[in-house]
């Protein structure tokens, strides 16, 4: 019984952790807010700029990371298989965009985004600090 | 088997890979990474199909010599292929791509051939020109029709896609893209030629040109295209080449795919000595790892255009070809980068035709009849 309660507690904790993705840019960036559609265009390689025209460089989390699947399902509206199919179509039709650069873990993404005015990433809300700004809270 | 252009590219790629290849340079399309000097990627499908009509073969298009039905109870030719692609970023502006595909072809083999081999010069992120062997964007899914993993079906609806087996053009193309707010528009123009082997003839296309426009807004895609060429056919037995005939392909395709479901519609009109139309409508829903879908497709019998050579019994028979298909299938994303699909097709032949059935014994009349096809495929990307 105790184990079951622990499992339940864990699953609730995990579920809430999964639901906590936020999209970030550097705290020094001029970008204050993005819509899901704007973020989607950047992460699908359809736009290489923020709405104000500044260069945008998306940063992805590792394949299989729960936060990554959460970002793509909540913001882009595609699951892992659909994203793979999307990039397969782009790459194997001689497309001119490539999947975003990969970084491992929330801390690496936060560090990279904080240090680069062009960078845009997504991390778990619990990892936010003053070095980055939330531009989309899906 | 490989032509000169392919050999040159292979050499170029090999040289580049010796100079530049480093551990970890290989990237899967799924894994994703920033552009590196050399990128390797591949795709493939392993498929099998069965047809209930034992008098004729059910084939994907006119390049395939044999299929399920008369020649075999079960056949793999329609949906089995392996593709490999290497992309070399030579400078920030210059990219070279080589794609090799092994698939069932007219000479009854799977000998690999060069699908694309071109060099791209990008003036900006939104404008480029390419020279070499280039994918033709004739219809909505023409460029990716050989990459099974990229779409929900066993293969793009046969009634439309078998109308034009030509997949690439040796020549030049240019693309310009611009955005208005969140609407992306890309215009592509193509000029080139193509040689395509069929089981008993070789089809040549020259002065082939086209204009294609793709508009994307969120989950919506609209593709419109017009392509024209002069085509002639050479008999492999006699070596006799027929007259050059102007061919045109006009098409409109729309796709709406917000994630939880999708709907696609396409309409085409082909003109050569005859005018024919074809369309499909397809929709599906995504339930976890499963994507069940339904498709209706059909092509209409051709009508002879004014000025055409007087029809013969054989050309009338060819012009009359028409059929419609109701398909039901499911895609299962069973593991990372791998899907399994099963599809059922109910094919009805037009009233005065044997449709597109191949290898029928002389004198066979199956007009207006119905047959059933069941297919399964495993698609993967790497």
User: How does the average pLDDT of chain A come out, rounded?
Assistant: 87
- Asked if the Cβ–Cβ distance from B85 to A46 is below 8 Å, we say no
CA-to-CA separations, B246 to B135, B164, B275, in angstroms, rounded: 21, 14, 12
**Average pLDDT score over residue span B158-183:** 92
Which of B35, B97, B144 lies closest to A89 in CB terms? B144
What is residue B16's predicted lDDT score, i.e. its pLDDT? 41
Q: Quickly tell me which residue has 């003109």 as its tokens.
A: B271
The percentage of chain B sitting over the pLDDT mark of 70, rounded to a whole number, equals 91
- Asked if the Cβ–Cβ distance from B147 to A63 is below 8 Å, we say no
What is residue A18's predicted lDDT score, i.e. its pLDDT? 52
- Asked if the Cβ–Cβ distance from A79 to B122 is below 8 Å, we say no
- Convert B196-223 to b/e letters by CB count within 10 Å (16 or more is b): bbbbebbbbbeebebebebbbeebebbb
Please name the residue ranges forming H helices in chain B. Answer: 4-20, 158-161, 313-320
Q: Is the CB of B92 inside 8 Å of chain A's CB atoms?
A: no
What is residue A2's predicted lDDT score, i.e. its pLDDT? 54
What is residue A75's predicted lDDT score, i.e. its pLDDT? 95
Which of B35, B120, B182 lies closest to A37 in CB terms? B182
Which of A78, A92, A99 lies closest to B33 in CB terms? A99
Which of residues B25 and A87 earns the better pLDDT score?
Answer: A87
Q: Which residue of B has its CA nearest to A40?
A: B218
What is residue B314's predicted lDDT score, i.e. its pLDDT? 84
pLDDT tens for A63-79 read 889 999 999 999 999 99
Q: pLDDT band at residue B163, thresholds of 50, 70 and 90?
A: confident
CA-to-CA distance for B30 and B303, rounded, in angstroms? 46
CA-to-CA distance for B245 and B305, rounded, in angstroms? 12
Which of B33, B99, B128 lies closest to A102 in CB terms? B33
- Asked if the Cβ–Cβ distance from B29 to A91 is below 8 Å, we say yes
Which chain A residues are within 8 Å of B31, Cβ to Cβ?
63, 99, 102
In this predicted structure, which of A14-18, A36-40, B133-137 has the lowest mean pLDDT?
Answer: A14-18
Q: Is the CB of B293 inside 8 Å of chain A's CB atoms?
A: no
Q: pLDDT band at residue A3, thresholds of 50, 70 and 90?
A: low
- Asked if the Cβ–Cβ distance from B147 to A89 is below 8 Å, we say yes
What is residue A4's predicted lDDT score, i.e. its pLDDT? 53
Residue B264 structure tokens: 């696609």
Q: Quickly tell me which residue has 């069941």 as its tokens.
A: B374
| HSE, side-chain direction, 13 A CA sphere, residue B161 | 20
pLDDT tens for B29-52 read 333 344 458 889 999 999 999 999
Alpha-carbon gap: B143 to the closest alpha carbon of chain A (Å) = 5
Supply φ then ψ for residue B203, to 5 degrees: -95, 130
Q: pLDDT band at residue A12, thresholds of 50, 70 and 90?
A: very low
CA-to-CA distance for A27 and A133, rounded, in angstroms? 5
Q: Indicate the Cα dihedral angle B144, B148, B154, B155, nearest 10°.
A: 20
User: Is the confidence at residue A113, as pLDDT, over 60?
Assistant: yes
- Asked if the Cβ–Cβ distance from B259 to A79 is below 8 Å, we say yes
Query: Which H, E and C letters describe A77-128, residue by residue?
Result: CCCHHHHHHHHHHHHCCCCCCCCCEEECCHHHHHHHHHCCCCEEEEEEHHHC
**Average pLDDT score over residue span B209-224:** 96
CA-to-CA distance for B115 and B165, rounded, in angstroms? 13
User: Is the confidence at residue B296, as pLDDT, over 60?
Assistant: yes
CA-to-CA separations, A102 to A48, A59, B22, B139, in angstroms, rounded: 16, 6, 18, 33
Q: pLDDT band at residue B309, thresholds of 50, 70 and 90?
A: confident
Residue B40 structure tokens: 């390797």
Q: pLDDT band at residue B127, thresholds of 50, 70 and 90?
A: very high
Which of B32, B95, B146 lies closest to A100 in CB terms? B32
Question: What is the distance between the terminal CA atoms of chain B, rounded to a whole angstrom?
Answer: 25
Which chain B residues are within 8 Å of A101, Cβ to Cβ?
32-34
Which chain A residues are within 8 Å of B150, Cβ to Cβ?
85-86, 88-89, 92
Which chain A residues are within 8 Å of B289, Cβ to Cβ?
81
User: Is the confidence at residue B91, as pLDDT, over 80?
Assistant: yes
CA-to-CA distance for B220 and A77, rounded, in angstroms? 13
User: Is the confidence at residue B8, as pLDDT, over 80?
Assistant: no
Which of residues A120 and A93 earns the better pLDDT score?
Answer: A120
What is residue B164's predicted lDDT score, i.e. its pLDDT? 84
Residue A84 structure tokens: 């793979």
CA-to-CA distance for B76 and B92, rounded, in angstroms? 42
**Average pLDDT score over residue span B218-242:** 95
Alpha-carbon gap: B68 to the closest alpha carbon of chain A (Å) = 28
Residues contacting B252, CB < 8 A, separation 6+: B222, B223, B224, B266, B267, B268
CA-to-CA distance for B120 and B99, rounded, in angstroms? 14
- Asked if the Cβ–Cβ distance from A63 to B149 is below 8 Å, we say no
- Asked if the Cβ–Cβ distance from B30 to A63 is below 8 Å, we say yes
**Average pLDDT score over residue span A3-32:** 70
Supply φ then ψ for residue B292, to 5 degrees: -75, 145
CA-to-CA distance for A103 and A120, rounded, in angstroms? 12
Residue B273 DSSP label: S
Q: Which residue of A has its CA nearest to B30?
A: A84
**Average pLDDT score over residue span B275-291:** 96
**Average pLDDT score over residue span B67-78:** 97
| Number of CB pairs, chain A paired with chain B, less than 8 A apart | 109
What is residue B182's predicted lDDT score, i.e. its pLDDT? 86
**Average pLDDT score over residue span B236-256:** 95
């Amino acid at each position: 019984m105790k184990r079951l309660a622990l499992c339940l507690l864990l699953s609730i904790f995990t579920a809430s952790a999964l639901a906590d993705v936020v999209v970030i840019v550097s705290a020094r960036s001029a970008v204050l807010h993005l819509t899901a559609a704007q973020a989607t265009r950047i992460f699908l390689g359809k736009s290489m700029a923020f709405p104000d025209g500044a260069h945008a460089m998306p940063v992805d989390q590792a394949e299989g990371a729960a936060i990554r699947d959460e970002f793509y399902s909540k913001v882009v509206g595609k699951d892992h298989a659909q994203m793979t199919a999307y990039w397969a179509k782009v790459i194997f039709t001689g497309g001119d965009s490539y999947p975003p650069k990969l970084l491992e873990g929330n801390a690496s993404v936060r560090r990279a985004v904080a240090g680069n005015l062009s960078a845009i990433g997504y991390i778990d809300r619990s990892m936010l600090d003053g070095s980055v700004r939330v531009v989309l809270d899906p | 088997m490989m032509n000169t252009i392919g050999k040159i590219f292979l050499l170029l790629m090999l040289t580049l890979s010796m100079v530049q290849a480093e551990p970890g340079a290989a990237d899967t399309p799924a894994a994703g990474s920033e552009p590196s000097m050399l990128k390797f990627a591949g795709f493939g499908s392993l498929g099998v199909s069965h047809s209930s009509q034992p008098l004729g073969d059910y084939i994907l298009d006119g390049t395939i010599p044999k299929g399920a039905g008369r020649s075999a109870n079960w056949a793999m030719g329609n949906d089995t292929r392996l593709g490999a692609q290497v992309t070399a970023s030579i400078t920030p502006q210059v990219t070279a791509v080589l794609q090799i595909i092994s698939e069932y072809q007219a000479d009854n083999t799977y000998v690999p051939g060069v699908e694309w081999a071109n060099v791209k010069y990008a003036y900006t992120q939104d404008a480029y020109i390419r020279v070499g062997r280039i994918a033709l964007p004739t219809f909505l899914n023409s460029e990716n029709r050989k990459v099974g993993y990229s779409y929900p079906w066993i293969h793009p609806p046969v009634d439309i896609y078998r109308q034009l087996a030509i997949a690439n053009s040796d020549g030049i193309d240019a693309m310009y893209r611009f955005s208005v707010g969140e609407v992306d528009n890309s215009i592509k123009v193509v000029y080139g030629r193509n040689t395509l082997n069929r089981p008993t003839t070789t089809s040549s296309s020259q002065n082939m040109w086209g204009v294609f426009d793709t508009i994307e807004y969120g989950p919506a895609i609209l593709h419109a295209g017009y392509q024209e060429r002069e085509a002639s056919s050479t008999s492999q037995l006699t070596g006799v080449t027929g007259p050059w005939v102007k061919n045109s392909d006009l098409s409109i395709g729309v796709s709406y795919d917000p994630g939880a479901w999708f709907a696609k519609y396409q309409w085409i009109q082909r003109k050569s000595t005859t005018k024919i139309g074809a369309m499909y409508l397809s929709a599906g829903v995504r339930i976890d790892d499963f994507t069940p879908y339904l498709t209706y497709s059909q092509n209409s019998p051709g009508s002879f255009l004014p000025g055409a050579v007087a029809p013969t019994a054989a050309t009338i028979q060819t012009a009359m070809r028409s059929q419609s298909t109701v398909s039901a299938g499911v895609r299962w994303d069973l593991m990372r980068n791998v899907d399994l699909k099963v599809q059922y097709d109910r094919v009805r032949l037009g009233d005065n035709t044997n449709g597109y059935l191949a290898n029928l014994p002389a004198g066979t009349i199956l007009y207006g009849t119905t047959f059933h096809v069941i297919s399964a495929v495993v698609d993967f990307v790497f």
